[in-house]
Amino acid sequence: MVHPVIRKLEAIEPLTDTERRKIDSLVRDVGDVARKTDIIADGESPNYVHLILEGWAARYKVLRDGSRRITAFLIPGDFCDLHITILDAMDHGIVALTDCRVAYIEQATIDEVTRSTPALTRALWRATLVDEAVLRQWLVNCGRRNALEAVAHLLCELHLRMQLVGLAANDRLDLPVTQEELADATGMTPVHINRTLQRLRNEGLIELGSGTLYVPDVRTLRRACDFDSAYLHLLSSRSVGSEEKRY
Amino acid sequence: MVHPVIRKLEAIEPLTDTERRKIDSLVRDVGDVARKTDIIADGESPNYVHLILEGWAARYKVLRDGSRRITAFLIPGDFCDLHITILDAMDHGIVALTDCRVAYIEQATIDEVTRSTPALTRALWRATLVDEAVLRQWLVNCGRRNALEAVAHLLCELHLRMQLVGLAANDRLDLPVTQEELADATGMTPVHINRTLQRLRNEGLIELGSGTLYVPDVRTLRRACDFDSAYLHLLSSRSVGSEEKRY
DNA sequence: CGTCGTTTTGATCGCAGTCAAACGTCGTGG
DNA sequence: CCACGACGTTTGACTGCGATCAAAACGACG
C-alpha cells in the first residue's frame, strides 16, 4: 500500500524510488488516537513529529469564552507539527475528529532525512508553505466571501486534497465532520452552517449525508465559489501558463 | 545602524556577531517602491527575495468581485517572499502601503547563507513559522472575536512587532494605514472600522490620529482582547513556564 | 481656493447569530 | 424488544451586529 504521505508529497514535488522508500521507513512507531482526544495539546513541546495515517484531525484554538476556532483540517498524509523541531512549543492544539491512526516520528529521524535527502527537505518545506497558503484562503473565506461561497470553497479544498491522497474516488469522499466542526472551521454558527449546506444541496451543488460528500459536478461547484487550485501549488497545475482559472 | 531584520531575528533566535554581519551583507541591492504600487504581483515568480527596510506593505488577494483581503502587514525587517525559493509562483500580491525602501536579495545569496550558516537558516525558518502563527490568530480574529476585540488584537500585534524592531518607543508608533486598509485586514467594512476605532478611543484603550497610534496602557488593551504574545514565539517569553497569560 | 483622499456621521437593511425546541439515529441497558 | 439517553441535524421565531448607501466634514496639498 502506498502511504498517503507519498501521494501527497508527489503531488507537489517529484520523488525517486529511494526517496519514497525513505519516507516509508519513517513510519515505524504507530499508534491510535480516539475521536475527540488531543493528538497534541496547546503549549506542548512533543519529542515526536506526528503524521496522520488514517482519520481526520483539526488544528484549533480555544478562546477564553470557550468558543473554538478550527484553523485547519488534517487528513491522511498530513504532518501535524513539523515545525516543532524549530519552534519551542505548540501555539495551538490538534484534536482527532475521528478515531485516528498516527505515526510518531522522532525528531532525530526527521533531521537525518533532511540532512541526507535534499529533495525530501524541499518537499517537506513545500508542504509547510502550502499549509500557509491554505490559511490565507481561509482568511479570504471568512472575511470576504459570504457563507455559501465560504462553505463551498472549503468543500472544494477538502475534495481536492482527498483526491490527492487517493481518498476521493468518483468525486465521492468521506467527510466525517459534524456541522458544528464545520462551523468552527468557517467562523459561523452550527445553525447557519446547516442552512448553508441545505442551500448547497437545493442548488444541486453537493450531495451530503451520513458522513459522505458527493460532488455531482466539480466545475460548477468551483465556479460557484471562485475556487482556483493554483494556491495549492500542485505539480499538475504548474507552469500551465494560462490566464484562465483552473476550475 | 542596526538593521530591523537583525532586531527581528534576534527576538526569536540569538545570533553571533558573524551571523549579524552576514545578514548585513545581504543588503546590497536596495530600491524604492512608491505607495500603492505592487512590490510583487500575484502569480509572479521573481528572481529576488524582497526584504522591507522602511515603510509598510501588505500581502493581499483580490476576489473576482473586486473586493480585497489583506492577509498580513509587513513592516521593516519582514521578508516578503522567502518561500519563492521553494514554491513556483506567488499565490498573492504584495503592495506598498507607504513609500517603501526594499532590499532585493538574489536567491543564490540566500541559498549560500542557509548552506553555510545553520543558525541563520533556523532563524529564517522560525520567522516563516511565526508568520504562519500570525495567520492563525487573524483567523481567530475574524471568525470568533467581535469587531472590537479583533481590531484591538490586531493593534496589539502591530504594537508588539513594531517594538521588536525598535519602531515603537514609549508605546507610540507610526501606523500609516488607512481605515480602508484596516477593514481589508479584518474582513470588515471601512465604516465599521471607523466606529470600532471610535469605541476603542472612547474607552481610553488607544489614541489614534494622523498616522500615529499611542497605547496608554498596554496591559489593559491586551486584556480587552485576550492577547497572549506566546504565539509570536519570542525568546523573551519562552519557557517562562507560567500558566497565566503574558499580557 | 479647489481637489482629492480619508474620516466621520446618519439612516436603513439583511445576513448571520441567538435561543429554544423537535426530530432522527444509534448504541446501551433494562 | 423497547425505553432511554447521547449526539447530531433540522426548524422556527426573534435579535442584533455589522453591511450598505449616501452625504457631509475634514485635512493635506498643489
Residue A207: is its pLDDT beyond 90? yes
| Confidence at residue B64, expressed as pLDDT on a 0 to 100 scale | 92
What is the average pLDDT score of chain A?
A: 92
Does the beta-carbon distance from A91 to B61 stay under 8 Å?
no
Q: Does B139 touch chain A (CB under 8 A)?
A: yes
Closest CB to A226: pick one of B63, B187, B238.
B63
**Which residue is the nearest neighbor of C5, CA to C1'?**
B178
Is residue A44 predicted with pLDDT exceeding 60? Answer: yes
Please give the average per-residue pLDDT across A3-20, as a whole number: 92
H/E segment holding residue B54? strand B48-54
Three cell numbers at B156? 496589539
Residues A120, A113 contacting (CB under 8 angstroms): yes
Per-residue pLDDT of chain B (247 residues; tens, 9 = 90+): 568 999 999 999 899 999 999 999 999 999 999 999 999 999 999 989 999 999 999 999 999 999 999 999 999 999 999 998 889 899 999 999 999 999 999 999 998 988 888 889 889 999 999 999 999 999 999 989 999 999 999 999 999 999 999 999 889 999 999 999 999 999 999 999 999 999 999 999 999 988 999 999 999 999 999 999 999 999 877 654 445 555 6
pLDDT at B85: 84
- Cβ B144–A226 below 8 Å, yes or no? no
- pLDDT tens for residues A77-136? 999 999 888 898 999 999 999 999 999 999 999 989 888 888 898 899 999 999 999 999
Q: Taking 50 as the threshold, does the pLDDT of residue A242 lie above it?
A: no
For residue B241, the model assigns a pLDDT of 47
CB-based contact B69 A144, cutoff 8 Å = yes
**Cβ-count burial of A47 within 10 angstroms (0-12 exposed, 13-18 middle, 19+ buried)?**
exposed
End-to-end Cα spacing for chain A = 30
**Does the pTM of the predicted model rise above 0.75?**
yes
Note whether B87 contacts A139, CB cutoff 8 Å: no
Q: Which grid coordinates belong to B141?
A: 480574529
Across all strands, nucleotide nearest B210 (CA–C1'): D27
The residue among A55, A77, A57 whose CA lies nearest residue A123 is A77
Around Cβ B70, how many Cβ atoms within 10 Å? 24
Is A62 touching B (CB cutoff 8 A)?
Answer: no
Average pLDDT over residues A195-203: 94
pLDDT band with cut points at 50, 70 and 90 for residue A241? very low
Residues 89-118 of A with CB under 8 A from B: 89, 91-92
**Is the minimum CB–CB distance between A238 and chain B shorter than 8 Å?**
yes
Q: Name the closest residue on chain A to residue B62, using Cα atoms.
A: A140
User: Under an 8 A CB cutoff, do A86 and B145 touch?
Assistant: no
Residues of A in contact with B132 (CB under 8 A): 83, 128, 131-132, 135
**Joined grid coordinates for residue B6:** 537583525
Average pLDDT over residues A221-243: 82
B128 to chain A nearest CA, in Å?
9
Pairing between β-strand B48-54 and β-strand A172-174 as defined by DSSP bridges: unpaired
CB B182 within 8 A of CB B193: yes
DSSP three-state, residue B212: strand
Residues 6+ apart with CB under 8 A from A201: A207, A208
